[in-house]
Structures are given as structure tokens and as C-alpha cells.
Chain A
Amino acid sequence: MGIFDKVGKKEEKPRADFSNVKSGSSTTAAEPRPSTESGPTAGTTGRDQTYVVAAGDSLSKIAKRYYGDANQWRRIHEANRDQIENPDLIHPGQQLKIPGA
């Protein structure tokens, strides 16, 4: 039985650990201007945007980037209720609607 066990199992190479990889980016192009408005101003005329979640992102980080205030994460959560159940859990590649500010 022991022999068959060994034959059946393929030796698996241990997966490399990339948890401490540091990354960054910069550009010569202009960057989209995040809104400087603060406070929940529902119903304002700003246009919605789409943001693709990257590794290491959180709703607070995205809120800080777009609204200048990490506490505005609830606005993004509300706008994406259909795809975010747990606001602490978003995935790279997810496309989030960023409500206009």
C-alpha cells in the first residue's frame, strides 16, 4: 500500500514565497485628479469612475486616493454592494465603481 501511495503521488515543488515583494510604479503621463472634496456629498454632479483593484488595495486606500479621505470607503462599498459582501475582502482584478465626488 505504501508503494502505491508513493507511485500515485507526484513530488510537489514547494511554492516560492513572494509575500514580501515590494512594488511601485510611476509615469511621465498626467494622472487622474482625485477629488479634494471632503465629507459625504451624495448626489453631487461628479462622474462615476471605474477602478481595477490591485494587490494590496483596501477600500480605505482607494477612498483616500479618490476622495482624499480614507473614511469615505463606505461610499465605495455602498456603490458595489452587488460584488462586495465583506468590505475587508476585495480581490485583485475586481472592477469597482467609484461614485463621483
Chain B
Amino acid sequence: MMLHQSRKVSLSLCLASILLMAACQEKPADSTPGTTGTAGTAAVRVSDVTLGRAIGTDKSISDRTETFRPSDTIYASVATDGSAQSATLRAVWTFEDGQVVDQATHTIVPTSRERTEFHISKPDGWPAGKYKLEVFLNDRSVETKNFEVRAQ
């Protein structure tokens, strides 16, 4: 009887200490205030990035290519799936050794499948060579596209 009671006591002590340990654990980092601009974006993903010389009204590429002429306006169409209160897309265009050509950010409120286009042009013509477009979703690199400009 005595043995049975002491077992009960030690069991409840053990349980209490487990509960105490759980209560003492740190709160998860997502409780940080002031980050609402990118809240609820986990369900959004970039499903496709295409390059070309022209876009349609639905922001999709109508003249798809990865080889451009110096006089071309270069379009990138970024497809996203999912919905969120806010999602930030960033397009970073670089030339050969990583020299930044341009970078642009567009914040959207996606509700389903959406398309966002980024474009760049250079009035005096693009230097011939190899270029790269890197697309970021909420500051995370999600897609890279290589393309080339060939002299006419």
C-alpha cells in the first residue's frame, strides 16, 4: 500500500516537472510585432517565370525568347499561386560578372493565380553578353533565368 502511494507521488511529480518545462520554453519567434507587411504569405509560391519581348493584357509573355536584341525591352512574367495579405516580389537583373543592371520590387495582394510583370529597357541599347534575372519572393530567391543579348 505504502509502495503504491509513493509510486503515485513520484508519477505526479514527474508529470508536474514535464508541464513546468513546457511552460518555461521560449515563445516562437513569429510572435515578433511589426512584421505584418509579409504576414500570411506561406501559401504563396512562384510557379513560373518566363522571359520575352512583349506581354499581353493578362501580363503573360506574348513573344517568348531568351535571346534578345540590343534595342529590345526585356519582359519577365512571374506567375504566383495562392493567396496572402501581402507578398513582395523582387526582380534583380544582372550582367555577366554580377554587375547589377536594375532591381525592382512589387508588393501584391494575391488572391489566386496572378501574374506580375517586370520590364527593363535601355535607350542606347543593351551591351551584348549574358544576363541573369533572379526573382525573390519575400526576400527569398525562388527562380533564376539566364538570357542573352546578341548584337544585331
Looking at the assembled complex, report how far the CB atom of B107 sits from the nearest CB atom of chain A, in whole angstroms. Answer: 5
Range class of the B interface residue count? 35 or more
Contacts of B17 in A (CB 8 A): none
**Residue in B95, B114, B116, B121 whose beta carbon sits within 8 Å of that of A25 in the complex:** B116
B91-116 residues at the A interface, CB under 8 angstroms = 91, 93, 95, 99-111, 114-116
Looking at the assembled complex, report how far the CB atom of A25 sits from the nearest CB atom of chain B, in whole angstroms. Answer: 4
**What are the interface flags for B115-135 relative to A under an 8 Å C-beta threshold, 1 for contact and 0 otherwise?**
111111111100101000000
B108 A24 Cβ-Cβ under 8 A: no
A59-94 residues at the B interface, CB under 8 angstroms = 92-93
Looking at the assembled complex, report how far the CB atom of A23 sits from the nearest CB atom of chain B, in whole angstroms. Answer: 5
B117 A26 Cβ-Cβ under 8 A: yes
**Contacts A25-B117, A30-B108, A30-B109; A15 near B37 (Cβ below 8 A):** no
Looking at the assembled complex, report how far the CB atom of A80 sits from the nearest CB atom of chain B, in whole angstroms. Answer: 11
C-alpha gap A92/B105 in the complex (Å): 10
Query: Which B residue's beta carbon lies closest to that of A54?
Result: B105
A1-45 residues at the B interface, CB under 8 angstroms = 15-16, 18, 20-32
**What are the interface flags for B26-40 relative to A under an 8 Å C-beta threshold, 1 for contact and 0 otherwise?**
000000011111100
C-alpha gap A95/B127 in the complex (Å): 31
**Contacts A18-B122, A23-B119, A26-B59; A31 near B36 (Cβ below 8 A):** no
Looking at the assembled complex, report how far the CB atom of A54 sits from the nearest CB atom of chain B, in whole angstroms. Answer: 4
Answer whether residue A101 sits at the interface, using C-beta atoms and an 8 A cutoff: no
B36 A48 Cβ-Cβ under 8 A: yes
Looking at the assembled complex, report how far the CB atom of A17 sits from the nearest CB atom of chain B, in whole angstroms. Answer: 8
Looking at the assembled complex, report how far the CB atom of A42 sits from the nearest CB atom of chain B, in whole angstroms. Answer: 16
Chain B interface (Cβ < 8 Å from any Cβ of A): 33-38, 58-59, 80, 86, 88, 90-91, 93, 95, 99-111, 114-124, 127, 129, 139
Q: A48-B33, A55-B102 are in contact. List 7 more A-B contacts (CB 8 A).
A: A16-B127, A18-B95, A25-B118, A27-B116, A29-B110, A29-B111, A50-B36
